[in-house]
Amino acid sequence: MTDPGDARVTVRRLGAPGDLGWVVQAHGEVYAEQFGWDQTFEALVAQIVADYGNGRDPRREAAWIAEVDGRRAGCVFCVADPAETARLRILLVDPAARGLGIGSRLVDECLRFAKEAGYRRITLWTNDVLVSARRIYEAAGFELVDEERHHSFGHDLVGQNWSRDL
């Protein structure tokens, strides 16, 4: 991307042409390159994005795109879970844009929105290999609820559920 000292980071609501497709493509490419995950992960992200695009309640669900100098560099989604619980989904920061505070800004947007939408709690599911993301979640006040081994995306993984009150 650019020198971090010179980068201009903005966060905006998802909604520009190509945003949904970029979210799917970026997840597929980044996770395949960094972790060797197969197309079943990209398919999961595609399903999450399709569900959001086809049936979201704009009062209770939102998504954001982070840009660095006008180029997409990250995303996060906030979707409804049970009635009073929101779910943070598919946080991603492009590897070339890491170190600019984008992940924290996206999580903060998600938390702010969830509070304003009236949720009392927010949850998320991740895997223990996503160390940087887990640090962001911990810094934002999330606590590990439970974890379970599973075989997904072509690998043996440890899935984790995190949660916090709003």
Q: How does pLDDT run across 54-107, given as a tens digit for each residue?
A: 999 999 999 999 999 999 999 999 999 988 999 999 999 999 999 999 999 999
Q: Which of 31, 33, 52 is nearest to 41 (CA)?
A: 31
Distance CA 97, CA 75 (A): 12
Structure tokens that stand for 64 in this block: 């954001």
Given a contact cutoff of 8 angstroms between Cβ atoms, the answer to whether 123 and 163 are in contact is yes
7 pLDDT band, cuts 50/70/90, is confident
Whole-prediction pTM: 0.94
Helix H segments across 15-101?
19-35, 39-55
The residue-averaged pLDDT of 102-114 equals 98
1 pLDDT band, cuts 50/70/90, is very low
Q: Percent of the chain beyond pLDDT 90? A: 94
Pick the range with the lowest mean pLDDT from 16-20, 34-38, 80-84: 80-84
Given a contact cutoff of 8 angstroms between Cβ atoms, the answer to whether 49 and 63 are in contact is no
Q: For domain 9-123, give the CATH superfamily.
A: Gcn5-related N-acetyltransferase (GNAT) (3.40.630.30)
Residue 4: per-residue pLDDT: 53
Give the full edge-to-edge strand order of the sheet including 9-13. 9-13, 62-68, 71-80, 85-93, 121-127, 155-165, 143-152
Mean pLDDT for the chain overall: 95
Q: Taking 70 as the threshold, does the pLDDT of residue 2 lie above it?
A: no
Q: Taking 70 as the threshold, does the pLDDT of residue 44 lie above it?
A: yes
Residue 84: CB atoms within 10 Å = 11
Residue 66 pairs in a beta bridge with 11, 74
